[in-house]
Structure 1
Amino acid sequence: MAQELTARVSVELGTAHFKEANEQVRAALERADVVELHRVYAQRYLGCAMPAGKRLEIHGTPGNDMACYMDGGAIEVFGNAQDQIGNTMNAGSIVIHGRCGDAAGYAMRGGEIFVRDGCGWRVGIHMKQYEQKRPTIVIGGDAGSFLGEYMAGGVIVLLGRPGEYLATGMHGGVIYLRSKLDARDVPQGLVLEAVDEADKELLRDLLGRYNDAFADELGAPLADDGEGFWRLRPASSRPYASMYAN
């Protein structure tokens, strides 16, 4: 006889080793669709491969590779997150009420990540998209160096300032910036241009959802009309073709 799911359960991880912690989380997700995690102290791999219909609410600081390979679930972190959240994520939603570390969205293939504050280095590295899957990252603060490195698809929205080496090797997708770059800071092979109406429509949706996610913490909502943004994109489908032999 199948075990009946309960609406919500609570799990306290404390100082449990990450393997033990993940065993507890998986067992809880078998009993309930919503699992609250308390006293989370950097345990790795929380929410790994979590499917649609499941939700984690994390109180504390999850460790590296949270939501790696996630396939449709939802995770909300009431605090900061460490490195490589959403690593190779396929679908789902991540909301961070704080900042995140390096390499968030590494090789991300779908889904969305909303970060209230800033992020570390190499966020969005190797992001890609296919058919209807278009991964999205929205960063509310400043970004570390190499944002969008080798980006092959998807969307990044940066509300703060970019670090050095922005979009190095980018050959697909789009990065929206709230501040205009100096012409000498636009990487070779890329184009910085004003957003058009289609961009503004997308930005209105994403900024509106950012406001909804962090309404109690923002003080005042961000202007969500898409005005004042700039679009950074590859100049062509093969922006670095001249660098390689035919």
Structure 2
Amino acid sequence: MEATVKKVYLGTTHFHEANEMVRAALAQADTVQLEDVFAQRYLGCTMPAGKRLEIFGTPGNDMACYMDGGSIEVFGNAQDQIGNTMNGGEVVIHGRCGDAAGYAMRGGHIFVRDNCGWRVGINMKQYEEKVPAIVIGGDAGSFLGEYMAGGIIVLLGQPGEYLATGMHGGVMFLARRPDERLVADGLVCEPVDEEGLAVLRPLLAAYNRHFARELGKPIAEDGAGFWALRPASSRPYATLYAN
């Protein structure tokens, strides 16, 4: 069966009415192209597998919140909290994103071509086969991976201050070794081993599929020179609690 495409023009429509328009369009088509998007919130919220949004403009906060398997591609920048508590699917940003992307994210992938704001990946988690991943092509603001409990963050640029504060699960792959003062007590930072490379390389390849053409050349996909940042213990705060 041939996939169906529907266009919706949002303009300055209030976010409540805008989301009603989007939901109605998704009920009729597999792919919905949103034109003239001006910061409407909650676009793609709870969207299921098999549905796709293509966004031309700037979506507002909480895009893809609770998304459950669909795909969203933004041809421009995105605002705060994209992928809030996202459960599955893929988000691709052809630009930068704001703060707290992937907040409490528990599944799916987010790819950002350029920089991101503060607190990206805060409270990320994973369970069994659900391993969320965020790939940032530029620099990150402060508190990247704050209280991270699981999942994967890949950073191709420079991290900000307070890197991985309170991190107690998951792994962060960094394209260059961070300054020692950024590595907090309870964390270890070491060159990526073969097991880590097996996880990292497919994410780098996916980043290239999305962005290499517009960046002018692909990034290296072999993972050479990357560093892995992770908790030194699976229970880093055990001593804070009574037995």
Shorter-chain TM-score range: over 0.9
How much does 1:245 deviate? Answer: 4.1
Residues 1:175 and 2:143 are matched in the alignment: no
Identity level (%): 74
Q: Which residue of structure 2 aligns with residue 104 of structure 1?
A: 101
Q: Which residue in the other structure is 1:158 paired with?
A: 155
SS at match of 1:37: strand
How far the C-alpha of 1:241 sits from its partner, in A, is 2.2
- The reply to whether residue 223 of structure 1 matches residue 216 of structure 2 is no
Instruction: Tell me: CA distance 1:182–1:99, structure 2 relative to 1, closer, same or farther (3 Å).
Output: same
Alignment correspondent of 1:61: 58
CA contact (8 A) 1:174 1:232 kept: yes
Distance in 1, matches of 2:5 and 2:82, equals 24
Are 1:44 and 2:47 an aligned pair? no
Counterpart residue number, 2:140 = 143
- Does residue 1:205 correspond to 2:202, yes or no? yes
Q: 1:70 deviation in Å? A: 0.1
Indicate the SS of the match to 2:9.
strand
- TM-score norm. by structure 2 comes to 0.97
Looking at structure 1, the residues matched to 111 and 91 of structure 2 have their Cα atoms a distance apart, in angstroms, of: 6
Distance in 2 separating the partners of 1:228 and 1:123: 23
Unpaired stretches in structure 2, ≥5 consecutive residues: none
Equivalents in 1 of 2:182, 2:84: separation in Å?
A: 28
Instruction: Give the match for residue 70 of structure 2.
Output: 73
Please list, as runs of the form range in 1=range in 2, the aligned pairs for 1:75-90 lying within 5 A after superposition.
75-90=72-87
Moved over 6 A (4+): none
- The SS at the match of 2:30 is strand
* 1:214 alignment partner, SS class: helix
Segments of structure 1 that go 5 or more residues without pairing to the other structure are none
Distance 1:86 1:76 in 2: 12
Q: Is the 8 A contact 1:75 1:93 kept in 2?
A: yes
The normalised TM-score by structure 1 is: 0.96
Cα distance in structure 1, aligned partners of 2:165 and 2:193: 24
- Output the amino acid matched with 1:135: P
- 1:171, 1:44 → 2: CA distance? 31
